[in-house]
Amino acid sequence: MTPRDRDNASARHRAGAVAGLAALALVSGCTVGPDFRRPAAPAVDRYTRQPLVAKTVSADVAGGEEQRFLHDRDISRQWWTLFQSPQLNALIEKALKANPTLVAAQAALRQAMELVYAQQGFFYPTIQANFSPSRQRASAALSPPLSTSQLTFSLYTAQVTVGFTPDVFGGNRRQVESLRGLAESQRFLLEATYVTLTSNVVAAAVQEAAARAQIAATKDIIDISTKSLALLRRQFELGYTARLDVAAQEAALAQVQQALPPLQRQLEQTRDLLTALAGRLPSDDPEETFELATLHLPQDLPVSLPSKLVEHRPDVRAAEDQLHAASAQIGVAIANRLPQFTISGAAGGLATDFTQMFADANPFWIVAGNVAQTLFAGGTLLHRQRAAEAAFEQAAAQYRSTVITAFQNVADTLYALQHDAESLKTAVAAERAAKVTLDLTVKQQQLGYINYLVLLSAQQAYQQALITRVQSQANRLADTAALFQALGGGWWNPPE
């Protein structure tokens, strides 16, 4: 074996020993810091203080159907199809394709995953290649830098450098764990964005339908008031009534007409909201329009078990993963206080002739290790660990708050649905009674049996009853959508 072969064999032996030592350090290293454990679900068997009723009351009007609460039933991912509105389905499909908030959430998830992959790169050695050519002249006052007496020469250096930091105490593993927790949190925030977007579209569609119904009801009241005013004017001309009665009816008509512009403004603003949710500008009027008569009230309402709510609510899952990320940061802070190990090596060649860099004795190599321990840093590392522990406590409190809010949302919507049904039933009865009273009052007015005060009172009562009934219908639809949102929106199910 030539001297060159022995040198190459020795270099390979040392490189293999360094690689083996690094692998051993990585495998045998411990992971400092607390291991994360998922918080247990609240130990409750219902959402409300009293047991939930099996079904709601019904009313003899569109949207007044009886609703049944089905326990431990799953929610469809496309729950809005239960409203049986092709226009609503079409608008939500457009929103899911073009809404910028959803696009931003998708990009945020990709960014979070790329940060995880980037941090995982520190598990592997860093390899760099370098080539440095130079032309130089040494001073004759010094010894010649070369083995010859030549003072002007070219120098070519090529080398490969390998650096590796063994994750002895698991600091990098904890950092990857933390970033993965944040990425998982972002994934659930994306699901939350999906659920919120679809729920907002349904809510805006119901709001538009309610505005249209209230506008139609107000126009009916205006029509009734206009006819009554015309009758009073004829009676005044015939001397059967006083001018004061006519003026009072004119004021009542103006008051009813005054209620119309705010409703029309609300309708236009709701149309703008639907356009924005679909990812378009307000000048692009959406093709879909919504009426209360075209939105069918879902009658079977699935209600998941309370123990499953923490699994199904995307905001709770996001808070849980943020808690996981905060837990891993404690391990990162502890690892930073412990000794840091590094291994590095370099191999290359150096010659005055480019073709001779790796010939004869021109190659070179070096292998080095280093252990560093911070002895004093003004308490910086200690306080960073305490800060990480405080951040974990903060994340734990935020998680508990999110869980409480989730259960509150479900309980609120369940109570709302029960009372919405009762409110609609009484509103329908009140409207029909007010309509009968108004019809009889108008007939008696035509015969001259009552004064204008009775007529005004009957008109106002019917107007209020009619608007209340419309609002009650809309509330049942809106709170039904809110229940699906509160229970998680079915994001965990594949699309149909």
What residue ranges define each of the domains in the chain, with the CATH number in brackets?
Answer: 30-134+165-370+409-486 (1.20.1600.10)
Mean pLDDT value across residues 54-70: 90
| pLDDT tens digits along 360-385 | 888 999 999 999 999 999 999 999 99
Name which residue leads in pLDDT, 107 or 11.
107
pLDDT category at 241 given cuts 50, 70, 90 is: confident
pLDDT at 129: 95
| pLDDT tens digits along 413-446 | 999 999 999 999 999 999 999 989 988 887 887 7
pLDDT category at 233 given cuts 50, 70, 90 is: confident
pLDDT value at 11 more than 70: no
pLDDT at 15: 46
pLDDT at 443: 82
pLDDT at 5: 53
pLDDT value at 2 more than 60: no
Residues 6+ apart with CB under 8 A from 80: 88, 89, 92, 198, 201, 202, 481, 484
pLDDT at 448: 67
| Gap between the Cα atoms of 450 and 109, Å rounded | 71
pLDDT category at 451 given cuts 50, 70, 90 is: low
Name which residue leads in pLDDT, 49 or 184.
184
Pairing relation of β-strands 300-303 and 68-71? parallel
| pLDDT tens digits along 140-176 | 877 888 877 888 888 999 999 999 999 999 999 999 9
Residues 6+ apart with CB under 8 A from 371: 339, 340, 341
Mean of the per-residue pLDDT values of the chain: 88
Name which residue leads in pLDDT, 328 or 49.
328
pLDDT category at 24 given cuts 50, 70, 90 is: very low
Q: What does the H/E/C string look like for the chain?
A: CCHHHHHHHHHHHHHHHHHHHHHHHHHHCCCCCCCCCCCCCCCCCCCCCCCCCCECCCCCCCCCCCCEEEECCCCCCCHHHHHCCHHHHHHHHHHHHHCHHHHHHHHHHHHHHHHHHHHHHHHCCEEEEEEEEEEEECCCCCCCCCCCCCCEEEEEEEEEEEEECCCCCCHHHHHHHHHHHHHHHHHHHHHHHHHHHHHHHHHHHHHHHHHHHHHHHHHHHHHHHHHHHHHHHHHHHCCCCCHHHHHHHHHHHHHHHHCHHHHHHHHHHHHHHHHHHCCCCCCCCCCCCCCHHHCCCCCEEEECCHHHHHHHCHHHHHHHHHHHHHHHHHHHHHHHCCCEEEEEEEEEEEECCHHHCCCCCCEEEEEEEEEECCCCCCCHHHHHHHHHHHHHHHHHHHHHHHHHHHHHHHHHHHHHHHHHHHHHHHHHHHHHHHHHHHHHHHHHHHCCCCCHHHHHHHHHHHHHHHHHHHHHHHHHHHHHHHHHHHCCCCCCCCCC
pLDDT value at 22 more than 50: no
Name which residue leads in pLDDT, 144 or 17.
144
| pLDDT tens digits along 197-232 | 999 999 999 999 999 999 998 898 888 888 878 877
pLDDT value at 348 more than 70: yes
| Proportion of the chain above pLDDT 90, given as a percent | 65
pLDDT at 18: 44
pLDDT category at 29 given cuts 50, 70, 90 is: low
pLDDT value at 333 more than 50: yes
pLDDT value at 37 more than 80: yes
Name which residue leads in pLDDT, 12 or 181.
181
pLDDT at 138: 85
Inter-CA distances, 110 with 105, 106, 313, 317, 323, Å: 9, 6, 21, 18, 20
pLDDT at 479: 96
pLDDT value at 14 more than 90: no
| pLDDT tens digits along 286-318 | 888 999 999 999 999 999 999 999 999 999 999
Mean pLDDT value across residues 177-185: 97
pLDDT at 236: 79
- Are 335 and 166 spatial neighbours (Cβ–Cβ below 8 Å)? no
Range among 48-57, 145-154, 271-280 rated most confident:
271-280
